[in-house]
A = this chain, B = another copy of it.
């Protein structure tokens, strides 16, 4: 299992980074701005799903939001954490903890859980089963919270 998982995580986390950075390394502040933006976009879509599972359920809106979350989860977000971005300011000072850059196996596991649960949510959303979406949305939320607890400073 380890043999399989480790290279997979490496691909998920670092391929995109090395591929694009060989050509043109963006400035650390730009990279931090991009990653801060990703979390805002995730939060927007997360909030939309929350509104739907707690209120009137609109299948299409949930599908759109879940697909956006999944596509971002699958987009190779590890590329947004290159060396040199442990501290610094994007839109604002980064809230990343230094542990994200040192506890790479643990961070990789957290990323993997987020990807898995996001993809599952997109699948469940497509069925339009509001109750099942609520359950899966809770599971996704746990992966967000876990990663924030371990790797994100409190505001």
Contacts and interface: CB of A to CB of B under 8 A. Distances in A.
Interface of A: 11, 15-16, 19-20, 22-24, 26, 33-34, 36-38, 40-41, 43-45, 47-48, 51-52, 54-56, 58, 60-61, 64-65, 67-68, 70-72, 74-76, 79-80, 91
5 contacts: A19-B56, A23-B54, A37-B37, A38-B41, A41-B72
A33 B39 CA distance: 11
B23 A55 contact: yes
Contact of A56 (B23, B45, B58, B68): B23
A51 B16 contact: no
B75 A45 contact: yes
Given A36-B37, A40-B37, A58-B15, A48 B20 contact: yes
- Most B-side CB within 10 Å, residue of A55, A64, A70, A79: A64
Contacts of A22: 55-56
Nearest to A49: B20
A41 B48 contact: no
A106 B54 CA distance: 35
A91 B38 CA distance: 13
B72 A16 contact: no
Contact of A34 (B19, B20, B44): B44
